[in-house]
Structure 1
Amino acid sequence: MLKRSIFLSPWTFIPTLYFASGIPYVIINTVSVIFYKRMGVDNAQITLWTSFLYLPWVIKMFWGPVVDIYSTKRTWIITSQIAMFLCLVLVAFSLQLPNFFFISLVVLTLGAFISATYDIATDGFYLLALKPEQQAFFVGIRSLFYRLAIIFCSGILVFLAGKLEIYFKNIPLAWTLIIGFSSAILLIIFIFHRLILPFPDEDATHQYTAREKIPFLQIITSYFTQEKIVSILAFILLYRFGEAMLVKIASLFLLDKLEVGGLGLSTSDLGLVYGTSGVVSLILGGILGGIVISKYGLKKCIWPMALAMNLPNIFYVYMAYTQPSLTLISPLVSLEQFGYGFGFTAFSVYLMYISQGEYKTSHFAISTGIMALGMMLPGLISGYLQQAVGYPIFFILVCLFTIPGMISMLFIPLKEEANPTAR
């Protein structure tokens, strides 16, 4: 096939590759919580089953070598995109069926594995298609477009779904149209990539060199024999324990009726408050966190940043007890999300800090898999706990659940470095 040199600039495909990466992830892990709530599923069932959808991102490191060995990264990208399009079409259709919850969960689970595979292939393609100086330049661009996908899905799409709910007076139809619209966007991106995505020479040759024996056992052993590995694992699993409980319940709390302890927001209001201004605050917090760490170092920043992430959870305790109006809900949610973005930066940098040596890429993949497990496990029980104790007590418990993660920070290995983000 003829390679079109006009399209070889990374500007033509990096933004769309990572925008397409964000859409299915957000729909599967965030938007699904919202449309299940709007369609009458109870909190315990929503949090339990949607938390299981994190699993492919927990274990994706185990089939990463398969993506490396068989076929090219470009082929994996194209194939997974069309497969994800079909999955979203099936999800949209399933919302019209009486047993929509079971069918849509099965399809979303399949979509989660496809999306995780797409992430593996896209990151590999990024390393093969771009020169080292381009990789450094476009790391911010790819992050920007991934975050724009978050705003698009959790903000704009949710807002539009709310408007359609009112217009059609039919919640399943509104969400069928929204998920169908999302699938159409992925189809357009698939066609675009099919036509213009380059064919890097290294992508074709890498699959053959990768078929040499992969020292998988050696990689795993070297990771789990690090200094203070028990403390490291405890930190990765516990640092966001409270936030992992909160994130599954937050949108349900905002949507629930006042008489059952929620804040009674409409779907459109949720899209604006949590999915738009909240996500923008999250991004700004992350940017500021990166600037602060680069200036002062991770060791000096990790405690203040952990406090910045955990202390704003008290806002949800306040809102649960007072049920304020939208004018106060919006800034409080934004402040909490800003603190989360700021504090999460320290966590991300620490995962890079412990990814050292010959297998640092694989070690980072293992760390992010454990990180996803740390989000999945608290989410499994969050809905049952909330239903058992109510929103006010639940959010108090969330604040208390941040303490183990703070304690774990006392035991992790961390030396002062001149440039902690250089890894």
Structure 2
Amino acid sequence: MKFPSKSISPAIYIPLLYFASGVPYVIINTVSVIFYKKLGIDNAQITFWTSFLYLPWVIKMFWGPIVDVYSTKRKWILYTQFAMSVCLGLVAFSLQLPNFFFISLAALTVGAFISATYDIATDGFYLLALTTEQQALLVGIRSLFYRLAVIFGSGVLVVIAGQLEAKLKNIPLSWTLAIGFAAVILAVISVCDRLTLPLPESDTPRQPTQTTKIPFFKIISSYFQQPKILAILAFILLYRFGEAMLLKVASLFLLDPIGKGGLGLTTSDVGLVYGTFGVISLICGGILGGVVIAKYGLEKCLLPMALALNVPNVFYVYMAYTKPTLPLVYSLVSVEQFGYGFGFTAFSVYLMYVSQGEYKTSHFAISTGIMALGMMLPGIMSGYLQNLLGYPLFFTLVCVLAIPGIISLLFIPLPAETNNQTS
């Protein structure tokens, strides 16, 4: 097969690369919660095991150099895309088996490692294949198509499964078809990328002698030698602690029947409420957050944005007690997700601030790994706490657990230029 030349516009292949990055991530970490719930798995089991699926994104920094040293980023992308489509195909098939939970969870675990590896290769390829000007120009496109993938996975795909449930009256088959559809899409993207991805001259394997010069210990130790590192770590782990617990349980709450304390929504309703309008609101919140930080600076925005992220969680307390009508659920979830997107922007900017110095890329990978750990640990315990407390008290606890993250703001170092602006 003849490979493409370097003249192919990145506007063709960058959208495909980042759409293919978002679809597996959202299926593994978000949609899995929904289809396991629909297939009758207990809340505690769902949140415990699916939270461990964050682990590859926690530790991916440790095998990032392997992707950097061996083979080319282009080959890593093509191989992992194909492997990911196979994993999703196996997940779809396994839902027809009596022991589907173990097999599908194993396939999702393998897929999580593949997806994290794909993310490493894709980000590296982005830097190698594009000029500095192209990188700046296409950063918005890259983010847009990743978000569209999230809407597709948590919204469109869930709605499709819900429609199939209503038509076929067969929940396992409905989800087999929906996940199988996603697997086919990734396979098609893999073929398209094989035809369109350029062959950058700089995308070559490093020589063996170069591998011995990678200062792993120096890179990691330099990150943890930053001033006030304990406060920084506490901030990264605690800023979204309550939200991380909410994230795993929100879909379960929407799906659980009213008799069990939930809202009793259909699968399609959840796809629209949380996966479509919710995600759109999250995107809008993130865009506004970036504009506000650019205008007022990070120091002035951190506390208001932390409150914007956490205070709307009280809406879930209200919904758990009152069981509102569907239109009001749409509104409340959309506002909560808007606040999350708005508040998360400050968090993202701060991670960039603490990822400075000689090893910016590696430091940012460490920061995002710790961030993923901060999502995994609360998620593991969330289902057990929900079963123990019930939805109203659980969501009340979520609101209370926002307080340590807000307190951590008092101790973290802030950008010098922001301090100067406000002094």
> Normalised by the shorter chain, which TM-score bucket?
over 0.9
Q: How high is the sequence identity, in percent, across the aligned residues?
A: 73
Contact kept in structure 2, 1:68 and 1:207, CA below 8 Å: no
Indicate the SS of the match to 2:147.
helix
Deviation at 1:137, TM superposition (A): 1.0
1:239 corresponding residue in structure 2? 239
Distance 2:343 2:284 in 1: 12
1:103-132 Cα shifts (integer Å, max 9, x gaps):
100110000000000000000000000001
Aligned to 2:151: 151
1:201 corresponds to: 201
Corresponding residue for residue 356 of structure 2: 356
* 1:85-104 superposed matches below 5 A: 85-104=85-104
Pairwise mapping of residues 269-288 of structure 1 onto structure 2 (< 5 A)?
A: 269-288=269-288
- Residues 351-387 of structure 1, C-alpha deviations (whole Å, 9 max, x = no match): 0001111001100000000000000000000000000
Task: Give the drift of 1:139.
Answer: 1.0
Q: What does residue 83 of structure 2 align with? A: 83
Structure 2 equivalent of residue 66 of structure 1: 66
Residue 14 of structure 1 corresponds to which residue in structure 2? 14
Unaligned runs of 5+ in 2: none
**Residue 36 of structure 2 aligns with which residue?**
36
Distance in 1, Cα, partners of 2:400 & 2:418? 34
Letter in structure 1 aligned against 2:315: F
In structure 2, relative to structure 1, the CA distance for the partners of 1:7 and 1:105 (3 Å cut) is: farther
1:286-297 aligned at under 5 Å gives the runs: 286-297=286-297
Matches within 5 A, 1:209-224: 211-224=211-224
Q: Measured at CA, do residues 227 and 124 of structure 1 come closer, stay the same or move farther in structure 2, by a change above 3 Å?
A: same
Once residues 25 and 297 of structure 2 are traced to their aligned partners in structure 1, the CA distance between those partners, rounded to angstroms, is 31
User: Contact conserved, 2:6 with 2:200, CA < 8 A, in 1?
Assistant: no
Letter of the 1:8 partner, please give it: I
The AA in structure 1 aligned to 2:56 is P
- C-alpha change, 1:205 and 1:194, in structure 2 (3 Å) is same
Post-superposition CA distance 1:25-66 (Å, at most 9, x none): 000000000000000001000000000000000000000000
The CA distance in 2 between the partners of 1:53 and 1:31, in whole Å, is 12
Which residue of structure 2 lines up, in the alignment, with residue 168 of structure 1? 168
- Counterpart for residue 141 of structure 2: 141
State the secondary structure of the residue aligned to 1:356.
coil
Q: Can you give the 5+ residue segments of structure 1 that lack an aligned partner in the other structure?
A: none
Measure how far apart 1:195 and its partner are: 1.2
The answer on whether the counterparts of 1:20 and 1:186 sit within 8 Å (CA) in structure 2 is yes
How far, CA to CA, are the matches of 1:35 and 1:253 in structure 2? Answer: 14
Structure 2 contact 39–171 (Cα < 8 Å) conserved: yes
Equivalences for 1:384-399 in 2 at 5 Å?
A: 384-399=384-399
Q: Is the 8 A contact 1:61 1:366 kept in 2?
A: yes
Number of residue-to-residue matches in the alignment? 420
Structural RMSD (CA): 1.5
Alpha-carbon distance change, 210 to 115 in structure 1, aligned in 2, over 3 angstroms: farther
Aligned-pair CA distance for 1:165: 0.3
Structure 2 residue 380 is matched with structure 1 residue 380: yes
Q: Contact (CA 8 Å) 1:297, 1:416: kept in 2 or not?
A: no
Amino acid at match of 1:198: P
Deviations 1:165-223 (A, max 9, x none): 01110000000000000000001000001111100000026567853521000001100
> Quick check: 1:4 aligned with 2:4?
yes
- Normalised by the length of structure 1, the TM-score is 0.97
CA distance in 2, matches of 1:347, 1:4: 39
Match of 2:47 in 1: 47
For 1:243 and 1:230, the matched residues in 2 are separated by 21
Aligned counterpart, 1:179: 179
Give the residue type in structure 1 aligned to 2:399: C
Amino acid at match of 2:10: P
Question: Structure 2 length normalisation: TM-score?
Answer: 0.97
Alignment partners' CA distance in 2, 1:206 and 1:183: 32
Q: AA paired with 1:409? A: L
Worse-matched range after superposition: 2-11 or 116-125: 2-11
8 Å contact kept, 1:298–1:416? no
CA–CA distance in structure 1, aligned partners of residues 354 and 209 of structure 2 = 27
User: After superposition, where does 1:108-119 map in structure 2 within 5 Å?
Assistant: 108-119=108-119
Secondary structure at the counterpart of residue 265 of structure 2: coil
SS of structure 2 residue aligned to 1:357: coil
1:281-306 CA-to-partner distances (Å, cap 9, x unmatched) read 00000000000001110001000000
Q: Secondary structure at the match of 2:412?
A: coil
- Indicate conservation of the 8 Å contact 1:294/1:419, yes or no: no
- Output the CA distance in 2 between the equivalents of 1:344 and 1:395: 20
Alignment of 1:333-344 (within 5 A): 333-344=333-344
Q: Secondary structure at the match of 1:55?
A: helix
1:309-334 per-position Cα deviation (integer Å, ceiling 9, x unaligned)? 11000000000000011010000000
**CA distance in 2 between partners of 1:68 and 1:261 (Å):** 49
What residue is the counterpart of 1:27 in the other structure? 27
Once the two structures are superposed, residues 76-108 of structure 1 have per-residue CA deviations (whole angstroms, 9 ceiling, x without a partner) of 000001100110110000000011001100110
